[in-house]
Amino acid sequence: MTPRHLLTTADLDPSTLAGLLDRALELKRHPNRYLRALYERTLLMIFEAPSLRTRLSFETAMTQLHGHAINYYTLHSPWGAGKESIEDLARTVSRYCDAVTARLYDHGDLVRLARAAGVPVVNAMTDEDHPCQILADLLTIREYLGHAHDLRVAYVGDARNNVTYGWLRAAALTRSEITVACPAAEAYRPEARVLDEVRGACARNGGAVRVVHDPREAVAGAGVIYTDSWMSYRVAKEEEAERVAALTPFRVDEALMAAAPPGALFMHCLPAWRGHEVSAGVIDGPRSIVFDQAENRLHAQKALLLDLLGSAGGDDVRPPGGGRPGCQPRT
Ligand code: CP
């Protein structure tokens, strides 16, 4: 059977999303009902880039579901050393593991990995999308607002990156209006191909995306104000001063939050640099829900793993010895 993957936020549909959020809330409220739900299952976590939240939340999820997670930095792999194709890596690890998460810089590498894998592959962040973050964000919004659809979200700052693209794709998924406020220079704007993709999806499914260059225009009427690091993991030290100069007018500070509706929430996927993309007063203030977001990576990813690995929870415990396709003796 062809495994299901989660490579971008566009792989989700509204019904799957609703099921995942329901399951994640159930897992959060009643973790003890799922103690052995992934008994004897193994998750391989491949990392080419650094991580705190993604690495720890996936590993903790597997521990709490009585499975096992292997952390594997590509630096230590034959693929990372240029000695093996990513297809051979995928075919090999599919014989050991039940699912793979991969944080790779190049989304094309993730697609090749998934095409060759015999088990589900989850995007743990590439240059194209960060769907696990979007899932956790929508779970957090649902907890605060009671729903995760028909939202008005302002994304402020550097908009040529994976989290922005995931949120743009979430517009059609959740029938929401996503307004991006970013500098006009090409280096900070969403790519035209992504805007074309998401506007096509919105035309079919609902939702809308806008790109503006005035952060106050973006936050007016927004229920959620979102920003992300100006210095993503691949930004070179020499680029930092130029980026700070271009992005400083887009800092989320107390003055910008005052231009938003009084109940607007502040979100950031972390890691954050206080005084750059967000002021300390905002991220540490009463409208910030960033650590709920961080916690919800755990619950949302547990729901995702159960969905992809086909476990219903407490009673669906695989007997010792497994039964994973591809590992049966040939007779
Ligand atoms: N938000 C996020 O993905 O955090 P890490 O880079 O620490 O995993």
Domain residue limits, the chain: 9-129+294-309, 131-292
Q: What is the pLDDT of residue 331?
A: 45
CA of 103 to the centre of ligand 1 (A): 10
Question: 162 near 51, Cβ under 8 Å?
Answer: no
Q: What is the pLDDT of residue 1?
A: 78
What tens digit of pLDDT does each residue of 34-67 get? 999 999 999 999 999 999 999 999 999 999 999 9
Spell out, as residue ranges, where the chain has pLDDT lower than 70.
312-331
268 lines ligand 1 (CB under 6 A): no
| H-assigned helices in the chain | 14-29, 53-64, 86-93, 107-116, 131-145, 162-174, 192-205, 215-219, 240-247, 254-258, 280-283, 290-309
Q: What is the pLDDT of residue 330?
A: 52
Q: What is the pLDDT of residue 152?
A: 98
Q: Looking at this protein, which amino acid is placed at residue 179?
A: T
51 lines ligand 1 (CB under 6 A): yes
CATH code for the structural domain at 131-292: 3.40.50.1370
Catalytic residue among 41, 53, 107, 130: 130
Q: What is the pLDDT of residue 313?
A: 65
Q: What is the pLDDT of residue 325?
A: 46
Q: What is the pLDDT of residue 234?
A: 78
269 lines ligand 1 (CB under 6 A): yes
- Is 98 known to be catalytic? no
- Is 301 known to be catalytic? no
Q: What is the pLDDT of residue 235?
A: 80
Q: What distance lies between CA 287 and its chain's CA centroid?
A: 22
Measure Cα distances from 15 to 18, 72, 122, 174, 229 in Å. 5, 33, 19, 10, 31
Decide whether 9-129+294-309 matches 131-292 in CATH topology.
yes
Who's near 310: CB < 8 A, 6+ residues apart? Answer: none
CATH code for the structural domain at 9-129+294-309: 3.40.50.1370
Residue of the CA atom closest to atom 7 of ligand 1: 52
Q: What is the pLDDT of residue 306?
A: 98
Q: What is the pLDDT of residue 314?
A: 54
133 lines ligand 1 (CB under 6 A): yes
- Is 316 known to be catalytic? no
